[in-house]
Structure 1
Amino acid sequence: MLTLVQKPAEPEPLKTIESSIEDRLKDENFSWMKPIVRDLYKIPNEQKNLSPEQLQELYTNGGVMKVYPFREESTVKIPPPVNSFEQAFGSNASIMGEIRKNGFEKPSPIQSQMWPLLLSGQDCIGVSQTGSGKTLAFLLPALLHIDAQLAQYEKNDEEQKPSPFVLVLSPTRELAQQIEGEVKKYSYNGYKSVCLYGGGSRPEQVEACRGGVEIVIATPGRLTDLSNDGVISLASVTYVVLDEADRMLDMGFEVAIRRILFEIRPDRLVALTSATWPEGVRKLTDKYTKEAVMAVNGSLDLTSCKSVTQFFEFVPHDSRFLRVCEIVNFLTAAHGQNYKMIIFVKSKVMADHLSSDFCMKGINSQGLHGGRSQSDREMSLNMLRSGEVQILVATDLASRGIDVPDITHVLNYDFPMDIEEYVHRVGRTGRAGRKGEAMSFLWWNDRSNFEGLIQILEKSEQEVPDQLRRDAEKYRLKCQSGRDGPRPSFRNNKNKNSNFQASY
């Protein structure tokens, strides 16, 4: 009987900046455009002749940094990491003033390497856990990038200046709004931005686009919608950011991302950030970047944050509400108003149900999930940030990118569907150098994740409960005998009807 042997996928041909410029010149849609001014960075004198030992010390300052070309055959030159804001932006008084005003002491590890790479005009992939400063890592170089492109039009006042120059793609409305908030905070050179997302006022977004903006922050769905209608042209974009790329792929945005990138000139500068490094992100990087440089803070292996102490209890579902009330009462007695907690549940219905039960018990909380209106979601987050409420009951919508830096506790009321999501939930606390605590309720129905959870805990030097080890071994033996097996995941790429937004 004949069997078909699937040919292994071949890697994309190595793209360089020079080859991408040639591709642009051959494409009549982009051939008329001005070249991109890329190299805005001068290596500081004190860093020009570093020994391998000195360079290694810079990489390990504040975290384990690994920096290397994405493709082994690439010969791209990698600038050393900066160890101060002055080394990256010292000649820019406006940016340095904002940095000092915000009280930043020194760059985070991921910033120290992404800044010189992006300012040098090199594509860059930043892989780092949540709360590590990735937003400013791509945003501040983007502002200087706009300066350099606009300078090409200063000699001819009659020449129309194109817009936008910078596009930031984000998986969720909340993260997109947070990035817009950072742009407005720096209010650099009067550059205008617009945030495009579903649920926001479409007429207002259309008006802002037609008025001309330098920076667009958008979710893929709404951007595709407005682009299809001719409201916004992406041909002028020279600097593209794919923020939380792993999350965007999880949410089913891959087709939209590819469509958007097809509309942008091939010699664009690309920054991609991700908290994890799954196969889908690797393929995206291979296809749409040019001699990209990897800047990895920590490990590419899935691991949870060491700054978060993680606890586990085996609690049946019908006993969980009573137990979570006991935990809330304990935290209130121990910390008063000096704690904030996110309680993660598996569905929109469960989030509403738990919030209502809290209300009946006199516990003040807010809910956050995809079924609530945009104004309700913004209100819930603002109440948590301000301290008006200390408890947010949320689906996995809140597990990534939501920037509430003073979350002290995370509770997994329902254990997530996979280990990757567990890592992101736990990463909501212990951010920006703080410590945090996470509690997870477990039961036998979570058994398919037990082995992966043990590996995560051991890598992050956490204590592994004895019952977790026993049940993991029990499940392994059942699988070996054919009496049990893993549950299907909604992330299964073969399931074309799988939809993150519908689920959460």
Structure 2
Amino acid sequence: MGEEYVYVATSDVGRVIGRSGTTIRNLQDDSGCRIKVFRNDDGDVYTKVQLKGSTDTIDCAKNLISRITKLRVTGDHSDDESRVSGWGKSYVSSNQDDCSSKNQTTDDWDEPDTTATPVTQSSRTWSSDMMWSSGSSHTSGSSHGFKSGFNRRQIKIADRGRGSSYQQHSSSRQHHGTSQFNVPDSSGTERKVQIDWAALHAGRAEAVAKKWKGLPDIVKDFYNEDTEVASLSYSDVEAFRSDRNGISVVDLSDKDRLIPNPVKTFEQAFRDYPEIIDQIYKQEFVHPSPIQCQSWPVLLKGFDMVGIAQTGTGKTLAFLLPALIHINGQTVPRSERSGPTVLVLSPTRELALQIEKEVQKFCYKGIRSVCVYGGGNRKEQIKTVGRGVEIVIATPGRLNDLLMNGVLCLRSVTFLILDEADRMLDMGFEPQIKKVLLDIRPDRQTVMTSATWPPGVRRLAESYMTDPFQVTVGTLDLQACKAVVQQVEFIEDSDKKERVMEFINDMIDGEKVLIFCSRKATADDLASDLLLHGYPVQSIHGDREQEDREQALEDFSTGAAPILVATDVASRGIDIKDITFVINFDFPMHIEDYVHRVGRTGRAGSTGKALTFMSRSNWKWARQLIKILSDACQVVPLELVSMAERYDKWCERNRDGRRY
């Protein structure tokens, strides 16, 4: 068995892995090759992928991966199978033997016309969506690193349906000066082509300015600071922030700006907007949450903002209420705008629907909204958009679908929210997000919310936000809610179902339990067993029809089915305030998902309890779980400490460069 390394454009990694790993499993099954995608914590343009198997299986896997990249770049829609919102195709396993033509790589595509003249904006522009190959190596440890051996590597480029194999002699990351390529023409003769990066960038700035010329100015500042808030001293402000779960505010710009003081009451934030205050009290809110105290002054003042806080802390209202005021305060009448004013991007259908419910609760000035998401009634969504809306809440896939088909225009969007940005990046939505942002005017007001602050989110904020403030509640470290009692139980996999039934039998009327499983099949199996034993249960995961998912959430919310079995699709998409218990039937694949699962209970100031089942196979998470439990002032079982120590010793004995 040999191995080989290839380098895939980081923007395409999500397409190689697929939703919940579906695509990479299909690739492995169809090629017979083991595929491993390495982590890219440095934010490099390219991500390392390991291929293990025979020469034939490795070649087959390379062909299939190239097929995914090629189809996305060329936009070939001749086969509608598994189209992703008009953004190209993702790989799907089929009965055809894709590997039978494994030698027909991109070298067999029609050759593009090439010249020896420098490439500028007026001539050909080359796609940066490439797959790098380090060359075949069938002995362990002989692969080259990305930064140290990429001269004369093959680049697969697809250019508007035509492609070729190129030899690169200079770094593709060069953004200034020129880069030179040796390009073979149809006769096999190599010609030199230069890319003038400076000319391309200069032309881009001119094109962007021309694209957005003539649009009306955006009104952003709607804040009249309350006299009591304005009179707070520095020590008073710091004491208040410290008492409210440790609010911190950082100016991410290089400007010398005053940070707005936090508000303590709803009246201090919205004294000029009595209708907003009336709607707040109708929802029986008592006082602003910590993230709201600081976010409202920042956003009403018109600044961009990154809001980082745990789940269930009121981030939705933190950006929603300023958005409503922003809509009504623009100079162009709502009836004369070419499209929505506010766009909210959400990673999951459930979270998008939850945001729409919050919008509908605040009937402010007759503002209309629509939620567009995959799996919903596309025809009805298009009709609603056509009637005119001020707010669009969308998942990236369906939004790109409507944009590509000319159903929706985003030129009038002046307030953009990227909700749960870290989750969207985890799910591979970064290419779709970047594509959407190209259609929105750059002088917009942008809000980004996240539960964590990973490098990908930082990169997104640096690229697409203008001088933002970062408002953080608590710490930037991964931390679970302290209002939730977290317990860990060590149990064999075969005993989990019986333990769940014992737990349910001890529940009293009015209590609800949310049970998380890592696999859809496990969720279906557990829900079926509970149903056969007479328990009122519902289930939710990505393979269920949208109407079934919505019905499951409705039954769980009303108490008709106080037991909900779910995969991680629900770890950020459920905002039901009276969930009493969370059970982690399977330990999640990522420690971040543990925090979000636990955060489904103990919301809106209430308390909750989380029970996590652990077996020996979960021992690699023990050390990280200990830290989360300790930071949340929870009891750390001695067996968990022992498990972490055993895993550390095992890693010491097996240090040979492998990833664990």
TM-score for the superposition, normalised by structure 2 = 0.68
Q: Which whole-Å CA distance do the structure 1 matches of 2:469 and 2:207 have between them?
A: 25
| Structure 2 residue 223 is the aligned partner of structure 1 residue 41 | yes
Q: Tell me the distance in 2 between the aligned counterparts of 1:136 and 1:321.
A: 38
More strand by share: 2
User: Matches of 1:487 and 1:404 in 2, distance apart?
Assistant: 38
Q: Of 355, 360, 380, which aligns to 1:204?
A: 380
**Which residue of 399, 402, 425 maps to 2:597?**
425
Asked whether 1:56 is paired with 2:228, we answer no
Partner of 1:113: 294
Aligned to 1:88: 269
Aligned to 2:304: 123
| Partner Cα separation in structure 2 for residue 230 and residue 338 of structure 1 | 48
SS state at 1:104 partner: coil
Per-residue CA deviations over 1:105-134 (Å, capped at 9, x if unaligned) read: 111010011111111110011111111001
Choose the corresponding residue for 2:252, options 66, 70, 73: 70
Contact 2:339-2:408 within 8 A present in 1 as well: no
> 1:365-410, CA deviations, whole angstroms, 9 ceiling, x for partnerless residues?
1001010001000000011110111110000011113111111100
| Code of the aligned partner of 1:163 | G
Identical-residue share of aligned pairs (%): 47
Kept in 2, the 8 Å contact 1:197–1:222? The answer is: yes
Query: Take 1:24 and 1:261, find their aligned partners in 2: how far apart are those partners?
Result: 18
Counterpart residue type for residue 132 of structure 1: T
2:284 matched to 1:103?
yes
Deviation by residue 1:7-43 (Cα, 9 ceiling, x = unmatched)? 9x99xxxxxxxxxxxx799622211100100111011
| Equivalent position to 2:213, from 31, 51, 56 | 31
Please tell me the residue identity of whatever aligns with 2:626.
I
C-alpha offsets along residues 441-496 of structure 1, whole Å, 9 cap, x if unaligned?
Answer: 101100111111111111111111111111110110110111799866xxxxxxxx
Q: How has the CA–CA distance of structure 1 residues 24 and 297 changed in structure 2, closer, same or farther, with 3 Å as cutoff?
A: farther
Q: Which amino acid aligns with 1:440?
A: T
Tell me what 1:313 maps to.
489
Is residue 274 of structure 1 aligned with residue 456 of structure 2? no
Moved over 4 A (4+): 2-7, 23-26, 483-488
Task: Give the number of aligned pairs.
Answer: 466
Distance 1:249 1:205 in 2: 25
Counterpart-to-counterpart distance in 2, 1:173 and 1:47: 38
Long gaps (5+) in structure 2 = 1-143, 150-170, 175-204
User: What amino acid is the match of 2:359?
Assistant: V
Q: Choose which of 317, 336, 360 in structure 2 pairs with 1:184.
A: 360
Alignment of 1:40-439 (within 5 A): 40-71=222-253, 73-149=254-330, 151-153=331-333, 160-331=336-507, 336-439=508-611
CA–CA separation in structure 1 for the residues paired with 2:657 and 2:408: 49
Cα–Cα, structure 1 residues 486 and 147, in superposed 2: closer, same or farther, change >3 Å? farther
| Counterpart Cα distance in 2 of 1:96 and 1:277 | 32
Note if contact 2:349-2:573 (Cα within 8 Å) is conserved in structure 1.
no
- Measured in 2, the distance between the counterparts of 1:133 and 1:42 equals 23
CA RMSD of aligned residues (A): 2.2
1:485–1:356 CA distance, 2 compared to 1 (3 A): farther
Partners of 2:504 and 2:229 in 1: CA distance: 51
Give secondary structure in 1 for the equivalent of 2:397.
helix
Letter in 2 for 1:292: P
SS of equivalent to 1:439: strand
Give the Cα separation in 2 of the matches to 1:79 and 1:53: 14
Letter aligned with residue 262 of structure 2: P
Deviation of 1:424 (Å): 0.5
CA 1:25/1:191 → structure 2, altered by over 3 Å: closer, same or farther?
A: farther
Offset at residue 75 of structure 1 (A): 2.6
Equivalent residue for 1:493? none
Question: Could you say which residue in structure 1 is the equivalent of 2:69?
Answer: none
Provide TM-score, normalisation by structure 1: 0.89
AA partner of residue 447 (structure 2): A
Aligned partner of 1:30: which letter?
W
Query: Aligned equivalents of 2:573 and 2:206: distance in 1?
Result: 34
By relative contact order (CA 8 Å, sep 6+), the higher-ranking structure is 1
SS in 2 for 1:359: helix
User: How do 1:474-485 and structure 2 match up within 5 A?
Assistant: 474-482=646-654
Stretch moving more, 272-281 or 234-243:
272-281
2:622 pairs with one of 438, 450, 462:
450
The aligned amino acid for 2:302 is: G
Q: Is the 8 A contact 1:369 1:394 kept in 2?
A: yes
Task: Rate the CA distance shift 1:310–1:152 in 2: closer, same or farther, 3 A.
Answer: same
Query: CA contact under 8 A between 1:61 and 1:109: conserved in structure 2?
Result: no
Partners of 1:44 and 1:110 lie apart in 2 by 18
Give the Cα–Cα distance (whole angstroms) in 2 for the partners of residues 263 and 407 of structure 1. Answer: 40
Kept in 2: contact 1:81–1:113 (CA 8 A): yes
Task: Give 1:250's aligned amino acid.
Answer: D
In proportion to residue count, which structure has more helix? 1
* Superposed displacement of residue 147, structure 1: 1.1
2:640 maps to 468
Deviation at 1:286, TM superposition (A): 1.0
